[in-house]
Amino acid sequence: MIDIPIKIEANPLIDRMVAPHNLVSQVVTDENIGLVVNDLKVLYQLCFVRNGIYNGNFAMHHSQIEDRQPLNIFVTHLKEIVCNPVITNKTKATVDSPEGCASFPNIPPIIVQRSNKIEIDYQTVIPDPEHPEDEYCVKLSEVKHKSLSGHEAKVWQHEVDHGLGKLIYNLEEKHERSEEHTSELQSRQ
């Protein structure tokens, strides 16, 4: 057998990831949204980057790349920008949701209880009509309302939890942590 050296390059986007933390994210306003336009691009790109055992992510929250003053904003792999999400209604009965998290790239998914249907209010980012040619000149939309179910509802709930400073490993109740799981959590905090 011929030994062919393979060099795997580290992805600089992964370097933007911060250690998991429990900071509650700040409300996004027209005054601070322009500060994170580049971060929104990074969050979207991170949805498609292999990180540990995960080939990509369905969404990424600003708190995963900012540990000083995270904003309550996330980007989905479908290019949805979601600001200041608030769950206004959800099913009382929950379902098992197998979930992993990019903040813990080497820990396998665990079962978390989630509502299968939610109602959510949020804002998004729109170009500032006074400066349509400048991609960095943006503002918040009016509040939108969305009904979500199934996988999409679970993804959005996961990201809302990030904004509240909650991580899935704080939410687990029945999952027994292995020694490897516990050391990974401790090394990332």
pLDDT tens-place string over residues 135-178: 778 899 999 999 999 999 999 999 999 999 999 987 654 344 44
Sheet containing 117-123: give its strands across.
Answer: 59-61, 73-76, 81-90, 117-123, 144-149
Q: How far apart are CA 156 and CA 100, in angstroms?
A: 14
pLDDT at residue number 40: 95
pLDDT tens-place string over residues 87-98: 999 999 999 999
Residue 123 has pLDDT above 80, yes or no: yes
pTM value?
A: 0.85
pLDDT at residue number 12: 84
pLDDT tens-place string over residues 57-79: 999 999 999 999 999 999 999 99
pLDDT at residue number 4: 63
CA dihedral 175, 176, 180, 184 (to 10 degrees): 50
146 in helix, strand or coil? Answer: strand
- Report which secondary-structure segment, H or E, holds 86: strand 81-90
Q: Under 8 Å CB-to-CB from 151, ≥6 apart: which residues? A: 58
Percentage of residues in the chain having pLDDT higher than 90: 72
Which stretches within the chain are classed as H helix? Answer: 30-33, 37-46, 150-163, 168-171, 179-188
Pairing assessment for the beta strands 144-149 and 138-140 based on DSSP bridges: unpaired
pLDDT at residue number 53: 94
Residue 86 has pLDDT above 70, yes or no: yes
pLDDT tens-place string over residues 1-38: 566 665 555 678 899 999 999 999 999 999 999 888 99
Q: How far apart are CA 43 and CA 172, in angstroms?
A: 25
